[in-house]
Structure 1
């Protein structure tokens, strides 16, 4: 099913050494390409003394948004092998950053590919992989008098309340599994005075 996906429960690290070169790998769960790029910028700053800070990320349950970067390594020897490991574990909503400290001995194209691949793999296998459901956000407004009905419907649906404002006219922003969103929207619409707004 396209609305379930695999990602990491928490950030993880891996380490690999080849001919005096050290490869430090960091696998981090993210929810957007923007968040992935923020992490990349942080690590580039933190490891500014390293020869290369290479990376790849994959975003979305459909796994169609991705990017990789060799950061000065020969084309296709770093970013692509990192992305290859993300693919081989079927992961998404993840960024993997591999920091290389050059040890003075050149590894050659095949050596680099193997090293970046292994470092990325080490970071992944050190992590806890979890299955999540793609989420849809729903915004709903309703009169205060309908509060009990709305709250019961939300509770029964298993959705999470992201924001809420209670006044004469009440507002809620909900997050729910995408495959359950239509049912929740219909049930909420059936409650008097309730209006659904899709953000």
Structure 2
């Protein structure tokens, strides 16, 4: 199973004109097919006057789901090259691990036929150019810990942990105490070092409890 992958950091839009046709690429982070299809439906309403709304998406850390749709373009000239642009994207050191991402290319026809080869190049380039400019983020599977502290201590402890390089995901304030949620690498030495640091910062008054694992964006 994958322990890390790369995805787009939020939503991103990029426009490209090729032989008077306008190709507008939308990228969005998604985690389900329903979310990917919702993006297509959203853009059909927004760009109701466009001729095509072609799409491709990849889901899961292990990229277990890959889908594409030509939306009226000749078969294999839009969705497949879009999906290839996503699947073959190198995100560092030759790694191709882009996932949890949907791409929709809205095409406004400019009156000049591009031919099958021209369409393949246009849709592939549209997604590739968008990925060139889009902010990407690395996600890793992290051990999640909860630290219960009194309200008056929570802010100081959170600041001290962040200053020491600990990734604090947030603080929840309950009626009796606050709970800091932190993410750590899964290695035993990282946990040991964190436990020692927490004991020092809290004078031994705080301990961390395991909350499981989650996919976390790199800071």
TM-score, structure 2 length as denominator? 0.65
Partner of 1:158: 166
- Asked if the contact 1:16–1:118 (Cα under 8 Å) also holds between the matched residues in 2, the reply is no
Alignment of 1:110-149 (within 5 A): 110-125=117-132, 127-136=133-142, 138=144, 140=146, 142=148, 144=150
Q: Could you tell me how far 1:129 is from its partner in structure 2?
A: 4.8
- Asked if the contact 2:143–2:186 (Cα under 8 Å) also holds between the matched residues in 1, the reply is no
Moved over 6 A (4+): 190-193
Cα RMSD, aligned residues only: 3.9
- Asked if the contact 1:25–1:99 (Cα under 8 Å) also holds between the matched residues in 2, the reply is yes
* Runs of 5+ consecutive residues of structure 2 not aligned to the other structure: 91-97, 199-203, 214-219
Partner of 1:94: 101
Partner of 1:39: 39
- Asked if the contact 1:133–1:177 (Cα under 8 Å) also holds between the matched residues in 2, the reply is no
2:20 corresponds to 1:14: no
**For residues 117 and 3 of structure 1, what CA distance do their matches in structure 2 show?**
28
- Asked if the contact 2:55–2:104 (Cα under 8 Å) also holds between the matched residues in 1, the reply is yes
Aligned residues: 193
Q: Could you tell me how far 1:158 is from its partner in structure 2?
A: 1.6
Q: CA deviation digits over 1:93-143, x for unaligned, max 9?
A: 432211112344544433322221122222222x15545232447363646
Q: Could you tell me how far 1:35 is from its partner in structure 2?
A: 4.2
Partner of 1:80: 80
TM-score, structure 1 length as denominator? 0.70
**For residues 107 and 181 of structure 1, what CA distance do their matches in structure 2 show?**
57
Structure 1 residues 45 and 179: alpha-carbon distance in aligned structure 2, compared to 1, 3 A threshold: farther
- Asked if the contact 2:7–2:139 (Cα under 8 Å) also holds between the matched residues in 1, the reply is no
- Asked if the contact 2:21–2:109 (Cα under 8 Å) also holds between the matched residues in 1, the reply is yes
Alignment of 1:58-73 (within 5 A): 58-73=58-73
Select the structure with the greater relative contact order (CA < 8 A; seq sep ≥ 6). Answer: 1
Q: Could you tell me how far 1:82 is from its partner in structure 2?
A: 0.6
Structure 1 residues 75 and 162: alpha-carbon distance in aligned structure 2, compared to 1, 3 A threshold: farther
2:23 match: secondary structure? strand
- Asked if the contact 1:159–1:177 (Cα under 8 Å) also holds between the matched residues in 2, the reply is yes
